[in-house]
Every structure is written in C-alpha cells, then in structure tokens.
A and B are shown apart, each in its own frame.
Chain A
Amino acid sequence: MAITPPSERIWWRQPIARIELIWIIIAFTWGLIMFFMMIYWHGAGEQNLSNEAYQIKPQVFAKHAQDMIDEYQVREESGFPVVHPPPGSDVYLIARLWQWWPILELEKDQSYRLHLSSMDWQHGFSLQPVNINVQVHPGYEMVITVRPDRAGEFGVVCNEFCGIGHHMMVGKIYVVE
C-alpha cells in the first residue's frame, strides 16, 4: 500500500506495466508538441508579444506622451484628449491612478508602435472586447507593435488592482477605416 513501505525491497527493479509505459510516452510526446507549438507560433503566428522594453523614468515617459498629444490631438472627449497619430508612428499610452491617458485613434490595418508605462503603481492593459492583456509597470516602458484589424470603439480596462479607484479606470481606443 502507499501508506506502508514498498512490499518489494528492491522496488526500482520491478518492471513497469505496459499500459503505464504507453501513457508516459503519450504524455511526454504531448508535452514536446506543446513546447514546440510556442516556438512554431513565433514563426507562423501573428500574435506574439514583443520583447522590447526599456527602463524609463515616469516623467520622461509622460513628456513623450505629452509631445505626441501636442502634435496630434484632434479633439477632446469627456476631458480626455483624442489623438490621431500617423500610421507607423510611436504612440504612447499613460497608465496612472485612475486613467488611461490619452484616447488613441488608430487606423485599421496600420501598424503602430504602442508604448506602455505606468506613472505610479502597476496597472493592467486589458483591451476589450478584443481581449489583449498586458501588464504595465512603473519605471518600465514596453513597446508593442499592434495592427488593429477591425474598426470600432474599444475599451481599455485596468485589470491589475490599483487601489480604491481601480474599477473606474477605463480608457478608450478608436479604430477608424
């Protein structure tokens, strides 16, 4: 029994039953398939998170974002600037208690270099209803190349707990034709 010492003293010499061996081989092979699937997707898939990241001071990141807002703001909405940067450009999204700043307006099927960083605590960039979720840290800037493939209005929910106003932290991204 499993609660008593093995009845065969030399238990490591006991043969393994065939059915166990078959399952071990199947499970091991499946593990290898799953492992190589991740590598395969880096070549064949279109959804891979970039590894590009920098350490950055919050005020420096805020300045980059402000420069972008000053240059490309097209209108204002509920107190938030709406920015329409040119395709292919660097776009900045500030996470802070409790806002995603500013509102971005992107063009469908165009690529952008999206920079994310936090001014204070950790936040979670959760683009809905697309369902892309990325962690945002203070002091680190992550750069992701995104290519929105459908037009519409998207919410940016914060999905890392960031204090009492966490549930009010919603931003917006427009994708236009």
Chain B
Amino acid sequence: MSSLIDFRTCPTTGLKVDRAAEKLIKANAVAAVVFLAIGGLFGLLVALTRWPAVHFLPADMFYLALTAHGLDVLLVWIIFFEMAVLYFASAILLNSRLAGPKWAWTGFGLMLSGALITNVAVLQGQSSVMFTSYVPMMAEPPFYLGIILFAVGALIGCGVFFGTLVVAKREKTYEGSVPLVTFGALTAAIIAVFTIASGAIILIPTLLWSLGLVSHIDPIIYKTIWWAMGHSSQQINVSAHVAVWYAIAAMVFGAKPLSEKVSRTAFLMYILFLQLASAHHMLVEPGFSSEWKIFNTSYAMYLAVLGSMVHGMTVPGSIEAAQRARGLTKGMFEWLRKAPWGNPAFAGMFMSLVFFGFIGGISGVVMGTEQINLIMHNTLYVPGHFHGTVVAGTTLAFMAITYILVPLIFRRELVLRKLATWQPYVFGIGVAGISVFMMGAGTLGVARRHWDMTFADAILPFDYPSAAFLMMGLNGIFAVMAALGGLMYVVIVVGSVFFGRKLAEDEKPSYPEVPPDSAAVGHYGSSESLKIPGTAFLVGIFFVAFVLYYFVNWKYLSEIWPLS
C-alpha cells in the first residue's frame, strides 16, 4: 500500500513527507490565515468602537462585528490551524502516510462550507447573537447549521489523525513511542472529540428549535453543555500550543524534553481534568450547588492547572539545558540573553509562553475561583483573560511555528525577513496590552459585549469611573498595534507562499536557522547533572506573582456587600 504513496524526502530533517498530507496541511493553514485576517479585522472594528474617543461603529454593526470576530478567530482560525498541526504531528513527524486523505479533504470541505454559511448568516444581520448564542435569543437556522457542519468536519479531521497514528504504528514508520509533540497533538485531538460531541449535543436541538421543530431549550442546560464545547475547545488550544512550544524548542534549539515522563503526564492531566471547565461559566448562575462549582471549577483540585505549571517549567527548562549544553553557561541568564531573539519562531514562542502564564493563566485561575467570579463575571475582565490565553498564547504560538513551516512545507523562502523579525513583538506586545487593559477595565466593573460605556441613551444615568475610560482608550491603542502585527503576519505569510523563492527539491531553507539536530544535547535528562537555575528563577517570579495576585483579589472580594 505505502509504495503507492507519493513521498518526498525533506532535506532539512531527512523525514519522508507524504505529499497528500503536505497538501492538506497547506490547505488548512491557508484557510486558517484567511479567517484570521477576516476575524482580526472584525476585532479591530470592535476595539475601535469600544475606544470611547473613537466609538466607531453604530450599535447594530458593533454587535454583528463582535459575533463575527468571536466566531472567526476563536473557532475558525484556530481549528483550521489545529488541523494543520494534527496532520503535521502525525504524518510528517511519524514519517508516515496520512490515513484516508479523501476523508481529510471531506472534513476540510465541511469545515470550509460551515464557516462560510455561518459567516454569511452573521453578515446578513439577523444572527447577532454573539459567539455563545445563549438561548432564548435566537439566530437564523444557518448560523447553527454552519457551526455544526464545521464541527463535523473537524471531527473527521481528528479521525484522520487517529487513523494515521494507527497506520504509522502498523507500518513501523518510527521506533519506540511517538514524539512528545505528537503526544501533545493526540491530547488535543482527544479533547476535541469530547468538545465536538458536546457541541453536537446542544447545537443540533438548538438548530431544530430555530427551525420551529422544538418548542423550548432550557437556558441553563444550554449554557452548561455549550461551555463543555466552548471552554473545552480552549483546552484543545492549550494542548496544541504547548505541543507547538515543545516543537519550536526542538526545532530552534534541538532541545530535548527534561523528562518525557513528566511532560507526558502533564498532558495526560489535561485529558483527565480539563473538561470540567464548563463550570467556570456557571459560577454565578442559579441552580448549582457550591460543591459542584468548587470541584469542577478547580479542575478537581487544580490538577489541570498543575499540568500547565509543569509545562511552564519544562519548556523553558529544556531550552536552558540545550543552550547550556552548547556552552552558554555564564551566570543565570546567558542562555536566554544569547537566545535568537531575531528569529520570529523563537521570539513568538517565548512571548507566547510568558504571556500565557503570567496574563492568561493567572487571571484564569483567579477568575475561576468560586467566590471571586462574583466581581468579574461578564465584565471586560473575561475577554481580558482569554485574549491572554487564546491570542497571546495560542495565536502567537501558531504564528511563531508558521515561520518554520512555510519553508519546510510550502517549500518557499520567507520574504520580508526584517518585518518578520519585528512581527512577534508588535503583535505580542499589542495583545498583552489588550489583555491587561481589558482586565483593568473589568476590575473597575466595565461590562463586556457592550456598545456604549457612557450609557448616553439610558433613561437612568450611570457613570463608570474615569480610570475605566482611560483603560479603554489604552485598550484601543494596543488593539491597533496588535492589528498591525496581525497584518504584518498575513502579509509575510501570503507574500512568502505566493512570491517567496521556490526551494529546490533537495535545498535546505536558509531561514530561520535551525541547528543541526546532531547538537550535543542528548543526555542532560538525568537527575544528577540537570542545571537550570535561570528557569528556576523565572518560575519563582511567576509563582510569587500568582500568589500575590490571587490574594489581592480575595481582598477586593471582601470589600463588596456581604452576600449569602
């Protein structure tokens, strides 16, 4: 069978590359970038409207743009890119053919048509129900239909991924266990199956309800199951972007995981506990017991958070160990100072790691605390948090690995390299600003998903503090910066894919530089020799920030009206 498959040999890695898999990776990556551009543009419009001095869109267009923004970036961009990651982590890294490329194309077609159907429904203006589409607010039937088709397509993609793992195992295309990155992708795919099933369970009845065939959908049941999709799908992202961190550390530094056992167990924690997160959205809803909330919102005593905290040490730790093995041993931070900060793959990956931990991670745990959620629920703190996780974390990581994948998979030299050097900084710092200032505004009480924070049209007046207006102005400025960074990314990627110099069949790309994989970092895993003082110091700073910020918010909580 495998003799009929069309392979080429990658000149950089020596891996066999199934051309069918390669085409699918390209198609999914291109679709992803197109929807990132569309969704990003809507995001800019939203931010310009929430910038009090600009207040760009009228109310109806604002809610339309916000619905489209959430849908196109949170769902479409990320899942398309994740499909590319799944095919890469299976067929390419395992040296194998892709199982059922026809199925993969069917999945791709369903995802693409689903995304288009839902986008058209939103643009027609009768489905401005936000990405969450909470019942009993009703969208037009195509809105739900498109999401369902998209989800089915993604499910097929996961099936192709699982199939490829089976094929690779049976055809013995690799020795021993799958690589850690593939293991992380497997984690993402398993969570995706759970997620998509939850989406189907709730969105199919909701579609029937919007068609008039079902009379009533309970809003609390809807919300609980919807978030089993909505939040768990963010855990797909976490698994996928952590896998991408490990991949970039390996590709740029030849880094070896400190301990396969620890890193794989941390991924396993995600599979076992992340699904509980729909509770994060139900902490101030009627009808749930405190026991249910506490157990679920903490992912069963924070065991999934433990997984992320472990990755937070092992990823930079493996980079530090690799750098020290190369002789960058001076002081605590020579390894980091002399890291290739001009390589956008590394710069993007490292910022993704730092911002995900410090901004997205800490704020998520704090906000997901049963009682503290009272002072944050549905304020701008919430989008502040998830722009820290999904944009500064996932999107930035995905952008970073694109710089490696374009030369390897599209076989084109990267164009506009000076611009590429700057891109992760412009985008990353822009998004970090968005997150921080939205969290600031949320702490001051500003509502999310709200067109007019001055309440000019309200019968009863209310004024937010002036600091909140300052926060929203700064948010607008950083959003413009992030949008610029996003535009730079799209220009570089599209430019390279269409106009980059074609690489010859056996030519290695010259940029970004990837070290020879024979680098001497094979054996630092043993417990006697491992020295990562710089990472330990950084992790220490993270821990102190986490503890302080956590208790500061309990202090804030203790100042509100007594409730029971």
A interface list, Cβ under 8 A from B: 1-9, 11-12, 14-20, 23-24, 26-28, 30-32, 34-35, 37-39, 41-42, 45-51, 53, 77-80, 103, 116, 120-122, 124, 126-135, 137-142, 144-149, 155, 157-164, 166-172
Question: What is the minimal beta-carbon distance from A45 to any residue of chain B, in angstroms?
Answer: 7
Q: Are A45 and B290 in contact (CB under 8 A)?
A: no
Q: Which of B116-124, B298-306, B410-418 contacts A (4 or more CB under 8 A)?
A: B298-306
Hey, which chain B residues are within 8 Å of A116, CB to CB?
A: 286
Q: Are B284 and A122 in contact (CB under 8 A)?
A: no
How many A-B contacts if CB must be within 8 Å? Answer: 307
Could you tell me the distance between the alpha carbons of A12 and B285 in the complex, rounded to whole angstroms?
43
Pick the contact of A80 from B460, B526, B560 — CB < 8 Å? B460
Hey, which chain A residues are within 8 Å of B178, CB to CB?
A: 5
Q: Are B59 and A142 in contact (CB under 8 A)?
A: no
Q: Are B298 and A38 in contact (CB under 8 A)?
A: yes
Hey, which chain A residues are within 8 Å of B197, CB to CB?
A: none
Pick the contact of A141 from B258, B286, B371 — CB < 8 Å? B286
Q: Are B180 and A6 in contact (CB under 8 A)?
A: yes
Hey, which chain B residues are within 8 Å of A146, CB to CB?
A: 561-563
Could you tell me the distance between the alpha carbons of A41 and B444 in the complex, rounded to whole angstroms?
23
Question: What is the minimal beta-carbon distance from B256 to any residue of chain A, in angstroms?
Answer: 5
Could you tell me the distance between the alpha carbons of A134 and B285 in the complex, rounded to whole angstroms?
7
Could you tell me the distance between the alpha carbons of A101 and B298 in the complex, rounded to whole angstroms?
36
Could you tell me the distance between the alpha carbons of A144 and B564 in the complex, rounded to whole angstroms?
6
Q: Are A12 and B261 in contact (CB under 8 A)?
A: yes
Pick the contact of B285 from A14, A137, A169 — CB < 8 Å? A137
Q: What is the size, in residues, of chain B's interface with A at 8 Å between Cβ atoms?
A: 107
Interface of A is mostly: mixed
Q: Are B379 and A20 in contact (CB under 8 A)?
A: no
Question: What is the minimal beta-carbon distance from A104 to any residue of chain B, in angstroms?
Answer: 12
Hey, which chain B residues are within 8 Å of A161, CB to CB?
A: 63, 129-130, 137, 449-450
- Contact A139:B445 (CB < 8 A) given known A124-B378, A159-B379, A167-B451: no
Hey, which chain B residues are within 8 Å of A31, CB to CB?
A: 298, 301-303, 305-306
Question: What is the minimal beta-carbon distance from A167 to any residue of chain B, in angstroms?
Answer: 4
Is B72 located at the chain interface by the 8 A CB criterion? no
Q: Are B286 and A140 in contact (CB under 8 A)?
A: yes
Pick the contact of B526 from A6, A15, A24, A27 — CB < 8 Å? A15
Between A19, A45, A130, A138, the greatest number of chain B beta carbons within 10 A of the residue's beta carbon is seen for A19
Q: Are B310 and A23 in contact (CB under 8 A)?
A: yes
Q: Are A134 and B179 in contact (CB under 8 A)?
A: no
Pick the contact of A6 from B260, B306, B443 — CB < 8 Å? B260
Q: Which residues 291-312 of B sit at the A interface, judged by CB distance below 8 A?
A: 294, 298, 301-303, 305-306, 309-310
Is B532 located at the chain interface by the 8 A CB criterion? yes
Question: What is the minimal beta-carbon distance from A135 to any residue of chain B, in angstroms?
Answer: 5
Question: What is the minimal beta-carbon distance from A136 to any residue of chain B, in angstroms?
Answer: 8
- Contact A5:B447 (CB < 8 A) given known A20-B258, A120-B136: no
A interface footprint on B512-556 (CB within 8 Å = 1, 0 otherwise): 000001000010011100101000100100010011001000101
Question: What is the minimal beta-carbon distance from A172 to any residue of chain B, in angstroms?
Answer: 5
Residue on B with the closest CB to A50? B564
Residue on B with the closest CB to A98? B458
Q: Are B560 and A131 in contact (CB under 8 A)?
A: yes
- Contact A42:B290 (CB < 8 A) given known A1-B255, A159-B379, A159-B447: yes
Q: Are B250 and A3 in contact (CB under 8 A)?
A: yes
Could you tell me the distance between the alpha carbons of A76 and B145 in the complex, rounded to whole angstroms?
47
Q: Are B371 and A138 in contact (CB under 8 A)?
A: no
Question: What is the minimal beta-carbon distance from B452 to any residue of chain A, in angstroms?
Answer: 4
- Contact A167:B452 (CB < 8 A) given known A18-B527, A31-B306: yes
Residue on A with the closest CB to B369? A38
Could you tell me the distance between the alpha carbons of A14 and B524 in the complex, rounded to whole angstroms?
11
- Contact A16:B262 (CB < 8 A) given known A3-B250, A145-B564, A148-B561: yes
Hey, which chain B residues are within 8 Å of A167, CB to CB?
A: 59, 450-452, 455, 457-458
Is B365 located at the chain interface by the 8 A CB criterion? yes
Hey, which chain B residues are within 8 Å of A38, CB to CB?
A: 294, 298, 369-371
Hey, which chain A residues are within 8 Å of B447, CB to CB?
A: 124, 126, 157-159
Q: Are B560 and A132 in contact (CB under 8 A)?
A: yes
Is B176 located at the chain interface by the 8 A CB criterion? yes
Q: Are A2 and B284 in contact (CB under 8 A)?
A: no
Hey, which chain A residues are within 8 Å of B181, CB to CB?
A: 2-3
Residue on A with the closest CB to B245? A2
Hey, which chain B residues are within 8 Å of A145, CB to CB?
A: 563-564
Residue on A with the closest CB to B366? A34
Q: Are A159 and B450 in contact (CB under 8 A)?
A: yes
Q: Are A35 and B294 in contact (CB under 8 A)?
A: yes
Q: Are B284 and A134 in contact (CB under 8 A)?
A: yes
Is B505 located at the chain interface by the 8 A CB criterion? no
Q: Are A26 and B543 in contact (CB under 8 A)?
A: yes
